[in-house]
C-alpha cells in the first residue's frame, strides 16, 4: 500500500484555500462510497469506532488495537486520505507514541490527539475535564517524535471552548502550535466571535468539530483558515436506522422481495470490486 500518496493529498487539502467537509466513514464499504462520491478526506471517529466495533457508547472502552485494526481495514479498501480521532492517545505521552506508531502503520493520513482527561476518573462522572496545557504539550511532542513518515499529519485537538473558556482554548492551541503540530482541531465553537479569536490565534490550518451547522458557511470558513469542518456522523446513524427498519419489517412479516431502500446488485458488485476478482480468478485460476 502506498500510504504516503494519500498523506500528500491530505496535506494538499490543508495547504489549500478551501474548507472541505470530510466523509464520515466506519468500515471499508462506507469508505468506498465516500471515495466514489468525491470526498477529499475521510473521517473515522472514536465514537463511531466504539459503536461499530463494540456496540458501546463513546466512553473509551475501545482499545488502540481494535481502533487501529478497523482503521487499517478502511485504509486498505480505499485510496481516500483518512483522518482519525485518536482520542487522548489511549493513555499518557508514552501511550501516545504507541498510538502514532500503530495508526501510521495502519495507513491513516492524519490523526488528532486531544487534551481531554480520559477515561473519566472516579467522582467526575457527568463532567468533562481537561489535562493541563503542559501535559497536553508533552503528548503533542511525543506524537511528533513517534512518526516515521514526515507526511503523516499530527493534529492537536481541544474541546476547551465548551469545557473551560475561549481564553483557555487560545492558550492551548498556541501551545500546541509551538510544540510543532501540523494543524489544530477545535470542538465546541458556538459563535462567530469565538471562531474569529481562535483562527486569529494561530497560523496553522484549523479543523472544526461539530455537525457542520456552526457559526459560518464553508466559503467563509475557508477564508478564515479552516480547512476541514466536520458534519457529524450521520452516515453511521443512518445505517443503523436502515438496519433496524429492515430487520423490523422482516420480523413483522414483510416479504424479502417487498423490502425497499436496499442497494442494488450493481451497486454491491461495484463496491465489493466484484469485476476485479472475476478477472483475477480468470487470470490465475483457469488454464
- CATH classification at residue 84: 3.20.20.60
Q: Give the C-alpha separation, 104 to 201, whole Å.
A: 29
Structural domain harbouring 53: 3-233
Q: Give the C-alpha separation, 111 to 114, whole Å.
A: 10
Residue 263: inside a domain:
no
Residue 18: inside a domain:
yes
Residue 24: inside a domain:
yes
pTM given for the model = 0.96
What is the residue whose three cell numbers read 501511550?
Answer: 95
Residue 238: inside a domain:
no
Please count the structural domains in the chain: 1
The pLDDT, as a whole number, for residue 287 is 79
Please say whether the dihedral angle defined by the alpha carbons of residues 79, 278, 270 and 232, taken in this order, is positive or negative: negative
From first to last of its 287 residues, the chain has per-residue pLDDT tens of: 789 999 999 999 999 999 999 999 999 999 999 999 999 999 999 999 999 999 999 999 999 999 999 999 999 999 999 999 999 999 999 999 999 999 999 999 999 999 999 999 899 988 999 999 999 999 999 999 999 999 999 999 999 999 999 999 999 999 999 999 999 999 999 999 999 999 999 999 999 998 767 788 999 999 999 999 999 999 999 999 999 999 999 999 999 999 999 999 999 999 999 999 999 999 999 97
Residue 70: inside a domain:
yes
Please, how many CA atoms are within 13 Å of residue 270, restricted to the half-sphere of its CB?
10
Residue 215: inside a domain:
yes
Residue 265: inside a domain:
no
Q: What is the DSSP letter of 286?
A: -
The pLDDT, as a whole number, for residue 214 is 76
Given a contact cutoff of 8 angstroms between Cβ atoms, the answer to whether 157 and 186 are in contact is yes
Given a contact cutoff of 8 angstroms between Cβ atoms, the answer to whether 61 and 50 are in contact is yes
With CA atoms as reference, report the closest residue to 139 among 63, 87, 189.
Answer: 87
Q: Which helix (H) or strand (E) holds 113?
A: strand 110-114
Residue 216: inside a domain:
yes
Amino acid at each position: 500500500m502506498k500510504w504516503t500518496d494519500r498523506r500528500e493529498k491530505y496535506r494538499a487539502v490543508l495547504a489549500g484555500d478551501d474548507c472541505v467537509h470530510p466523509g464520515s466513514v466506519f468500515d471499508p464499504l462506507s469508505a468506498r462510497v465516500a471515495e466514489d462520491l468525491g470526498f477529499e478526506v475521510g473521517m473515522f471517529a472514536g465514537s463511531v469506532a466504539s459503536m461499530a466495533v463494540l456496540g458501546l457508547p463513546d466512553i473509551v472502552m475501545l482499545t488502540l488495537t481494535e481502533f487501529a485494526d478497523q482503521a487499517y481495514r478502511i485504509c486498505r479498501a480505499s485510496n481516500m486520505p483518512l483522518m482519525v480521532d485518536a482520542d487522548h492517545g489511549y493513555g499518557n505521552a508514552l501511550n501516545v507514541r504507541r498510538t502514532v506508531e500503530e495508526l501510521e502503520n495502519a495507513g491513516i493520513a492524519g490523526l488528532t490527539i486531544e487534551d481531554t482527561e480520559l477515561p473519566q476518573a472516579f467522582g467526575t462522572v457527568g463532567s468533562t475535564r481537561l489535562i493541563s496545557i503542559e501535559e497536553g504539550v508533552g503528548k503533542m511532542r511525543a506524537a511528533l517524535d513517534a512518526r516515521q513518515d514526515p507526511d503523516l499529519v499530527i493534529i492537536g485537538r481541544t474541546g476547551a471552548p465548551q469545557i473551560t473558556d475561549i481564553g483557555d482554548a487560545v492558550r492551548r492551541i498556541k501551545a500546541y502550535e509551538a510544540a510543532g503540530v501540523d494543524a489544530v482541531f477545535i470542538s465546541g465553537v458556538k459563535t462567530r466571535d469565538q471562531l474569529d479569536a481562535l483562527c486569529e490565534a494561530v497560523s496553522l490550518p484549523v479543523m472544526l468539530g461539530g455537525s457542520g451547522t456552526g457559526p459560518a458557511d464553508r466559503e467563509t470558513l475557508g477564508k478564515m483558515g479552516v480547512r476541514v469542518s466536520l458534519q457529524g456522523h450521520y452516515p453511521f446513524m443512518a445505517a443503523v436506522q436502515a438496519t433496524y427498519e429492515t430487520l423490523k419489517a422482516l420480523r413483522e412479516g414483510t416479504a424479502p422481495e417487498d423490502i425497499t431502500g436496499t442497494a442494488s446488485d450493481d451497486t454491491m458488485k461495484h463496491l465489493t470490486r466484484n469485476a476485479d476478482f472475476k478477472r483475477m480468478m480468470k487470470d490465475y485460476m483457469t488454464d
